[in-house]
């Protein structure tokens, strides 16, 4: 709403109730942001880049200088404001969570975005978001010295109001106590660097802050400067101890609540530094301006859920990506020996999927309810994937979510290389990695399909010859050809399956991080009850086995259950979403061909299903890889600025050596 300045000045009433006075201040701030530009004769010339809000503020002050009666009314409103308001919470608590848990902070921010605020309060921390907008930081930071001095003179508290320095000292005491308490919590203390923790900087904080308070209260400026130097040194040590926790988390697992506590401590230490600048500066104006600008920035962060989640889950995302990168590097074939190994492992996976295919048809023939059909189908998939993992075989669609983080690691090396003189070599190395990745995916698909499809068809024909009927009948075969055709929603379902494949890799990384963070491998190896039951040697072997396989088990079990249960859950809400897994779909089409015989070759639906298999394979792999690659890039802070350079290099390789994307070279450098 746009307010006329004259009407706004006439509405200033220091005798009005508190809520009305606060509402008037809110309208004044809105006028500064949104009112029409001041008249040419009212405002002096300004630099072209001066923000409009600064021009309006200068115009407002000029009007008050020309109209003493309005100036007296406005100043009386501001004096009443400072007498009634409590500013300690603004400096000490604004922007900081009352409970050290990310979940509660997310809920608090949602409430702040949804529920309206009231100006009927004497808490300046609650009133601040009504007065200032997150976009105000720009013009507040651009205020020049004369304008800041004029505004400060108008905003100065009355002599009878509480001294602002005492208010800031109270806030500083609260902040120091919070930093000290956080540093002494068990979750953070035991993860800090022992060398930094032994210096006991957190214990000494309260003494340093109290000594500084006494010096400032007594007017001992020299003593205050000396005590402030000691306090800043302690805060620096506390910050280093806080930062050292990251190394522990990267090695022993991440907790987003611990990351949140660390971030809160950093924010409080920064707020203490800003308060010290205000308290110790001979001219507190610039320091107060920086403090106000920082509070506006904090308000902007408080309104942003995406930034909060991205910041506090970035370390967890990096842990997930790096653990998958270590695993995914084994899925990339670099020479012909590794390529043949991948084909053999994929062929083994295709062999297991043969049994999975017939088990799926058997479960469907039982006529179970929607949920239980999905549950047992998912259990069938999960069991098959776990068997494939334990036999060290592979399913092609599991590769992209694992190999993408390894690719991001290479891209991170490329970013560092661009800073030097090795750009061309780094780009070629990255293209080599891309080619190796694509042919690895091709080998996985070829190995799965060349075993799964023919074996399912052979079982169908053998059943027809031995028992006079195939295991999967013609009615079911017709349904398969009708549902898996490319002319239907296969494209959408195949892309959705790629999302599930990516999700399983995230679940695997999260479960492994949780396993490591809780130190369950150590518990299995050394817990007295477990050691007594299993024996020391067996407990050690079990601990190593679970540590090495927890990620694979979580990935395969979660993927299998999602493939079975997610369509059933969507169907509950009336959404006909299905999954299209390239290897499983191939087995179903082969079973349909075995049931219908040679006549199937004359049916267009059969050929459309084969085309659907090709599209399903591409979408399963590409969608899963794309999501995993994006997460890996974000977790490493990599931004590809020279994508055209990389794209050009890949196209050049395609023109010069197209077979390198399908078949490895003879010699591997």
Structure confidence by residue, pLDDT tens digits, 190-239: 889 888 888 889 999 999 999 999 999 998 889 999 999 999 999 999 99
DSSP codes, 100-127 = S-HHHHHHHHHHHHHSPP-S--SBHHHH
CA-to-CA distance for 614 and 605, rounded, in angstroms? Answer: 15
pLDDT class of 46 with cuts at 50, 70, 90: very low
Instruction: Please tell me which residue, 542 or 110, carries the higher pLDDT value.
Output: 542
pLDDT at 259: 81
Q: Look at residues 392, 378, 408, 385 and name the one whose alpha carbon lies nearest to residue 564.
A: 378
pLDDT tens per residue, range 560-578: 999 999 999 999 888 889 9
The sign of the CA dihedral 208, 214, 216, 221 is: negative
CATH 1.20.1080.10 domain position(s) in the chain: 317-661
> Residue 272, CB half-sphere, CA atoms under 13 Å: how many?
30
pLDDT in tens, 415-463: 555 455 456 676 777 778 777 777 887 888 889 999 999 999 999 999 9
Instruction: Give the model's confidence band at 669: pLDDT under 50 very low, under 70 low, under 90 confident, else very high.
Output: very low
Residue 513 CA to residue 320 CA, distance in Å, equals 7
The answer to whether residue 632 scores a pLDDT higher than 90 is: no
Which range scores top for mean pLDDT: 7-11, 133-137, 632-636, 645-649?
7-11
| Over residues 613-642, mean pLDDT | 73
Q: Which residue has the tokens 């494209």?
A: 491
Between CA 629 and CA 621 the distance in angstroms is: 12
Most confident of 162-166, 324-328, 394-398: 162-166
- Do 430 and 410 touch, CB atoms closer than 8 A? yes
CATH number for the segment(s) 317-661: 1.20.1080.10
Cα separation, 512 vs 551, in Å, equals 5
Contact 125, 296 (CB under 8 A): no
User: Residue 389 contacts by C-beta under 8 Å, 6 or more apart in sequence?
Assistant: 549, 552, 553, 556
The band of 45, judged by pLDDT with boundaries at 50, 70 and 90, is very low
Q: For residues 47 and 70, what is the distance between their CA atoms, to the nearest angstrom?
A: 28
Asked if 63 and 9 count as a contact pair (C-beta separation under 8 A), the reply is yes
Q: What's the mean pLDDT in 352-376?
A: 95
Q: Return the half-sphere exposure (C-beta side, CA atoms, 13 A cut-off) of residue 41.
A: 1
- pTM, entire model: 0.70
User: Tokens representing 218?
Assistant: 């007594």
pLDDT in the model for residue 261: 87
The answer to whether residue 267 scores a pLDDT higher than 80 is: yes
């Amino acid at each position: 709403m746009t307010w006329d300045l004259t009407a706004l000045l006439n509405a200033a009433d220091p005798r009005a109730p508190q809520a009305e006075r606060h509402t008037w201040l809110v309208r004044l701030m809105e006028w500064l942001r949104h009112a029409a530009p001041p008249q040419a004769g009212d405002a002096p010339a300004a630099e072209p880049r001066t923000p409009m809000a600064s021009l309006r503020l200068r115009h407002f002050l000029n009007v008050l200088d020309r109209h003493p009666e309005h100036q007296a009314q406005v100043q009386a409103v501001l004096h009443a404001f400072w007498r009634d308001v409590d500013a300690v919470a603004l400096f000490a608590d604004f922007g900081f969570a009352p409970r050290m848990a990310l979940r509660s902070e997310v809920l608090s921010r949602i409430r702040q975005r949804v529920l309206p605020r009231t100006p009927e309060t004497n808490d300046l921390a609650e009133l601040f978001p009504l007065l200032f907008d997150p976009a105000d930081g720009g013009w507040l930071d651009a205020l020049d010295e004369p304008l800041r001095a004029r505004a400060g003179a108008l905003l100065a508290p009355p002599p009878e109001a509480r001294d602002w320095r005492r208010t800031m000292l109270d806030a500083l005491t609260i902040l120091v106590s919070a930093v000290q308490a956080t540093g002494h919590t068990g979750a953070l203390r035991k993860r800090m660097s022992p060398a930094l923790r032994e210096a006991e900087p957190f214990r000494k904080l309260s003494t340093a802050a109290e000594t500084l308070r006494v010096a400032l209260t007594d007017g001992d400026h020299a003593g205050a400067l000396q005590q402030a130097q000691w306090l800043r040194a302690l805060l620096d040590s506390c910050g280093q101890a806080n930062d050292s926790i990251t190394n522990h988390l990267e090695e022993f697992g991440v907790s987003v609540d611990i990351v949140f506590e660390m971030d809160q401590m950093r924010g409080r230490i920064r707020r203490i530094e800003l308060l010290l600048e205000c308290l110790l500066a001979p001219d507190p104006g610039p320091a107060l301006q920086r403090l106000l600008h920082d509070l506006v920035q904090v308000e902007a962060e408080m309104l942003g859920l995406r930034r909060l989640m991205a910041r506090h889950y970035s370390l967890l995302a990096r842990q997930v990506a790096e653990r998958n990168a270590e695993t995914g590097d084994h899925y990339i074939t670099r020479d012909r020996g590794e390529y043949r190994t991948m084909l053999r492992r994929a062929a083994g996976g295709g062999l297991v999927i043969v049994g999975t295919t017939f088990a799926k048809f058997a479960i469907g023939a039982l006529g179970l309810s929607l949920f239980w059909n999905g549950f047992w189908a998912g259990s069938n998939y999960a069991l098959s994937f776990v068997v494939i993992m334990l036999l060290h075989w592979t399913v092609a669609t599991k590769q992209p979510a694992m190999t993408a983080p390894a690719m991001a690691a290479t891209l991170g090396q490329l970013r560092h290389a661009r800073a030097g003189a090795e750009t061309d070599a780094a780009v070629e190395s990255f293209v080599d990695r891309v080619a190796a990745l694509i042919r690895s995916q091709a080998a996985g698909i070829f190995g799965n399909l060349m075993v799964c499809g023919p074996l399912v068809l052979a079982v169908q024909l053998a059943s027809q010859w031995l028992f006079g009927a195939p295991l999967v009948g013609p009615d079911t075969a017709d349904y398969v050809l009708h549902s898996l055709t490319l002319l239907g929603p296969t494209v959408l379902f195949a892309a959705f399956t790629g999302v599930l494949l990516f999700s399983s890799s995230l679940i695997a990384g999260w479960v492994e991080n949780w396993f490591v963070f809780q130190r369950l491998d150590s518990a299995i190896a050394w817990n007295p009850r477990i050691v007594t039951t299993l024996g020391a040697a067996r407990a050690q072997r079990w601990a190593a086995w679970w540590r090495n396989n927890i990620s694979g088990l979580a990935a395969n079990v979660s993927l299998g259950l999602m493939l079975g249960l997610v369509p059933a859950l969507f169907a509950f809400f009336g959404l006909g979403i299905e999954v299209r897994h390239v290897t499983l779909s191939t087995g179903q089409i082969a079973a349909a061909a075995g049931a219908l015989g040679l006549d199937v070759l004359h049916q267009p639906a059969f050929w459309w299903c084969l085309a659907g298999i090709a599209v399903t394979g591409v979408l399963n792999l590409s969608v899963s890889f794309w999501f995993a690659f994006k997460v890996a890039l974000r977790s490493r802070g990599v931004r590809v600025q020279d994508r055209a350079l990389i794209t050009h290099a890949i196209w050049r390789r395609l023109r010069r050596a197209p077979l390198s994307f399908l078949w490895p070279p003879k010699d591997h450098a």
